[in-house]
Every structure is written in structure tokens, then in C-alpha cells.
Amino acid sequence: MGDSTGAERTIGGVRAGGFAAGGALRYWGWRAAAATVGRAPRPVAYTAAAAIGHGAYWLWPRGRRAMRENFARVLGTRERAVLDRAGRRSLAGYLRYVVDFMALQRHGWRPPRLVGEDAFAQLDLLLARGKGAVVVCMHYGNWDAGAAAAAARGYPVAVVAESLGDPRLDEEVLGTREQLGMQVIRLERAGPSMVRALRRNGLLALLIDRPVPGEGVAVEFFGERVEVPAGPARLALATGAALVPVAFRRLNEAGDAFAIDGDFSILPCDNGTEACVRELTQRVMQAHERFIRAEPTQWYMFRELWTRRENGAVPV
């Protein structure tokens, strides 16, 4: 569950660094919620998650402003009713994802029906190069389901995770991923471990939709300039790994079927210039733009991604 959406902070995430204030409260809150979700029938849990999401949208001014700004770009409108409807559906969808994750802790992995399984054949062709693949995701659909599906098929999957502020909560969340067959790499010591995962011809899953104004690489996303992490492209250049933007799009309300959307055509450039980093990152973001357009409200971004308004737009 990373730190990128902004929602994880309210549900349980803080930056790495020991036993943060409020960590115990987060831990026991998570335990209580997981126990409740684990006993409830999935449709009931989904209904409750949707209701909480719709209500929380109106009670969270900062998140609401960010969602309006983000969806204004994605949907190409500043009509308040349209943006609010999209924001409510996105927050409700994110909480359904949390329900799915909590259910894993109690019931274990139940493989969903996947549409687009030929994606694994395309992945195999890339891995035949022997240099691994950087799988670049966004907070979209259910990225954990995608990683678990790959691990269940025998692919070596490594994911990078940030501490949630309480070692017990880390064990709850990160331990669940390990039980699903993933190698969890802690963010605070990620560098060498990420390179090793790729040099073993494995899959390294990273999330790219994190605002990094002044620190990342500038690309175009939904027609406007945005800065996103350059790490995935730099890793590909350093190791020769392929870059694979991918999304796992929920296909039904039951949460038992997903479409695999991916681009398996991005290989590292011949040189490691900054222009190459920008080119690779731009191609990744173009792919994710296509994925998001297919179902915009399955993108869970609750902090404003476009931090510089070059067109002078007024916040909605």
C-alpha cells in the first residue's frame, strides 16, 4: 500500500523512521477494520466501503481539492458536479481495494479471472533477454492483485515498500505481500536490492504516480507538464531491464475479474543521457494515460499531481 496517494497516510502511512506518533492507533485501527472485513461477506464489505468513501469525500477538504484538480485534467472539464462524482467514485474504489487487501489476510489468495493473459507471454519474451523488467504501476485498480497473480505463476516479483510507522503494522501489511510470494524491499535500503532483483532476471514493481516537484523528470501527462520519479527509467538504463507500464483494471463490482493493460514495447535507450531518461519516462506516462482513460475513477490519486499550473487555471 505505498505512500503515494495521500490516502495511505490517513489510513496508516507515514514516512519511514521508527515508531511514529500515532503508530499504535493506526495499528489497532487496522486490526479492528481487518477483523470486521474478514468476517463480513464481500458484497457487504464493498457496500460499506463505498458508503464510507462517498462520505469521506465531503469530510476531507484537502483530498477533495486535490481530486478535483486531478480529475479536471483527466476528464477535460471543470464542471463541479462531474468532478465530485468522479472523486467520490475514486475514493470508494480505493476503499474497495483496501477491503480486498484485508480479506487476503484472513482468507488468503483467491486468484481472480484475468482478461488479457497473453500479457504473460509478452512478458516472457522480454525476460528471455535475461535482464529483468521494471514493472511500472500507478495507484490504479488493484496493483497488489497483479503482483500476486504474477508471483502465483512463478515469476520472481520484488516490490518496494515504505514503512507504515509501526513495526506491527509493517508486519501486517508487508507480511501479507510476502505470504503472496513477493519479495518486499524496504524503501530505506532499496538501491542495491532493486538492482539485484533485476540482475536475477526478476520483476521489480514500482509506483510512479508520486508528485516530486523539482526532484523528478518533467514529462507531459494529459496535456500538461508534470514531474514524476525518474527512478524506473534510471534503473532500466543502469541494468538493461525492460520498462513495462501495466495496470490491473477491475472489471466488475464483485472484484473477482480484472483486465491486464500493459505496454511491452519499451526497452532502454542506447545511452544513459538525461534525454533518454525523459524519453523512457514519457513513454511510460503515455501508456498510463491510455490505461486511465479506459476507467478514470479507478485511479486513486488523492494528492494533486500537477503542481505547476502553466495554463493559469484557477483551482476548482
Please check whether residue 134 is in contact with residue 264, taking contact to mean a CB–CB distance below 8 angstroms.
Answer: no
* Bridge partner residues of 122 (DSSP): none
Q: What is the DSSP string of 173-239?
A: HHHHHHHTTEEEEEGGGHHHHHHHHHHTT-EEEEE-----TTTSEEEEETTEEEEE--HHHHHHHHH
| pTM flag (> 0.75) | yes
Distance CA 83, CA 78 (A): 7
Residues of the chain below pLDDT 70: 1-23, 107-109, 308-316
Determine the pLDDT at residue 16. 29
Residue in this structure with the C-alpha cell 535475461, named with its chain if needed: 130
Interstrand relation of 203-207 and 157-161 (parallel, antiparallel or unpaired): parallel
Please, is 311 exposed, middle or buried when counting C-beta atoms within 10 Å of its C-beta (0-12, 13-18, 19+)?
exposed
Nearest partner of 197 among 167, 144, 239, 234, judged by Cα: 239
Distance CA 45, CA 34 (A): 11
Please check whether residue 83 is in contact with residue 73, taking contact to mean a CB–CB distance below 8 angstroms.
Answer: no
C-alpha distances in Å from residue 63, one per residue of 8, 11, 290: 12, 13, 24
Determine the pLDDT at residue 107. 66
Determine the pLDDT at residue 20. 39
